[in-house]
Each structure stands twice: as C-alpha cells, then as structure tokens.
C-alpha cells in the first residue's frame, strides 16, 4: 500500500519540520479547496510551491474546485505527479487534456453520492481514480465502508479492460480501515488527521505501508 499524507492537517507554522516527519511517505497529498466546490478554502499555488520546495516527495494534488481548467498551469510543478479533478466539476474533458499537455498524471475523483458510471467516459485517459470515502471538504470524518463497492468495481473494470490506473481513497483512513481498503483493492491511501496525531509518524507510515 502506498501512503500519501494529507498536508492539510499539518502545522503550517512549522511546515518544514512537519514535512520531515513524513519524509518516508510515497506521495504528498495536497487538497486545494476554492470555497465554492466545497465550503472550505485551503491554500493555492504559492503555498503549494513552498511545499514543493521543501520536500523530495512527488505531489498528489487534489483540486476540489469548480473550475479546475484555469488552475492546471498554476499547479504544474516539477514534482507534480498527479493532478486530480472532480467529475462533478466544470469542463472535465478540457481539463484532462490540459493536464496531459503538462505531462502530469491525470486523476479523476468522485464524491460519495456520485455513481461510478459518471467517470466511465474518462477512464481510458486517467492514471488515477480517487474514491472519496468521506464527503470532501472537511477532515476528521468517519470512513464510509460502503465506498469499497466502488473500489471493487474499479478493480474489476481495470482487469476487464486491461487498464493500469491506480485506485486511491481519501477520508477516515486509520490502521483498521486501511486493512479494509487493502483487501478491497486500493493502491494508495491518503491519511490525514490519524497520521498527524501520532508521536512517531515515520513508524506509523511504515506500519500502514505494510498492511
């Protein structure tokens, strides 16, 4: 299991130190919120660039924004590995093409109430499918185990169609729920408050990787 800590739950007043405590992760997950697609506002390209310059980790950027097309060039950093947009957002096809032109892996995400069929038109163009296991926009929510049905469907779809996208989940991940995710076929787990509440984050990341 690949582990992607969500930097949103880090202490931004000691960002460099916080990043050092999770340096053994596989990816760094950044939630970008516009206050419109979701009620909260997080941070933008300037803070993301600062994070980029203080870590060696590949960036897994999740655009929880209504109009992702305008933001693609602003988040196309050297270490941006995935740029994920929501299927519920505007101009999905155009945004996917814009991400591909930047030579960045395309991610597509869907909210818990959105049926899996909504992303099927784009499935051949993506490198990553992010299944939200909480309602996007707020931390500390409980893991929605019913979302594992979507994961299992994605596993079957990937095998049937000979595709190679990775399956990621975000929300409510801890030592117990990550085992459920692993058995369902998840490849990458975003971990937020659970990880940042640990005294030894390095050790916890290693434990979660080995699930």
Give the domain ranges of the chain. 2-209
Q: Is the predicted pLDDT of residue 46 greater than 80, yes or no?
A: yes
Sheet containing 188-191: order of strands: 2-5, 188-191, 166-170, 128-132, 105-110, 80-86, 59-64, 28-33
| Predicted pLDDT at 20 | 97
Instruction: State the maximum Cα–Cα separation within the chain, in Å, rounded to a whole number.
Output: 47
pTM for this entry: 0.95
| Predicted pLDDT at 12 | 87
d(CA 69, CA 154): 26
Q: Is the predicted pLDDT of residue 41 greater than 80, yes or no?
A: no
Catalytic positions, written as ranges: 31, 170
Quick: pLDDT tens for 123-151.
999 999 999 999 886 666 789 999 999 99
Band the pLDDT of 39: cuts 50, 70, 90. Answer: confident
Query: What CATH fold (topology level) applies to the domain 2-209?
Result: TIM Barrel (3.20.20)
Number of Cβ within 10 Å of residue 73's Cβ equals 12
| Predicted pLDDT at 139 | 60
Mean pLDDT of 77-91: 97
Least confident of 19-28, 30-39, 142-151, 184-193: 30-39
Percent of the chain having pLDDT more than 90? Answer: 87
Q: Is the predicted pLDDT of residue 49 greater than 70, yes or no?
A: yes
| Predicted pLDDT at 135 | 86
Quick: pLDDT tens for 145-196.
999 999 999 999 999 999 999 999 999 999 999 999 999 999 999 999 999 9
**Strand, coil or helix: 119:** helix
Number of Cβ within 10 Å of residue 180's Cβ equals 17
Provide the mean pLDDT of the chain: 95
């Amino acid at each position: 299991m690949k582990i992607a800590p969500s930097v949103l739950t880090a202490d931004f007043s000691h960002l460099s130190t916080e990043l050092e405590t999770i340096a053994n992760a596989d990816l760094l997950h950044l939630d970008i919120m516009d206050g419109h697609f979701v009620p909260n506002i997080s941070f933008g390209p300037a803070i993301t660039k600062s994070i980029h310059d203080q870590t060696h980790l590949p960036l897994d950027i999740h655009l929880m924004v209504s109009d992702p097309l305008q933001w693609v060039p602003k988040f196309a950093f050297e270490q941006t590995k995935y740029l994920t947009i929501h299927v519920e957002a505007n101009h999905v096809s155009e945004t996917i093409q814009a991400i591909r032109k930047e030579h960045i892996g395309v991610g597509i995400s869907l909210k818990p109430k959105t049926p899996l069929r909504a992303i099927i038109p784009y499935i051949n163009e993506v490198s990553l499918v992010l299944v939200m296991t909480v309602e996007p926009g707020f931390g500390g929510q409980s893991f929605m185990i019913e979302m594992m049905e979507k994961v299992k469907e994605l596993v079957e779809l990937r095998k049937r169609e000979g595709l190679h996208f990775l399956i990621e989940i975000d929300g409510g991940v801890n030592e117990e729920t990550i085992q459920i995710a692993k058995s369902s076929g998840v490849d990458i787990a975003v971990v937020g408050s659970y990880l940042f509440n640990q005294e030894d984050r390095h050790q916890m990341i290693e434990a979660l990787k080995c699930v």
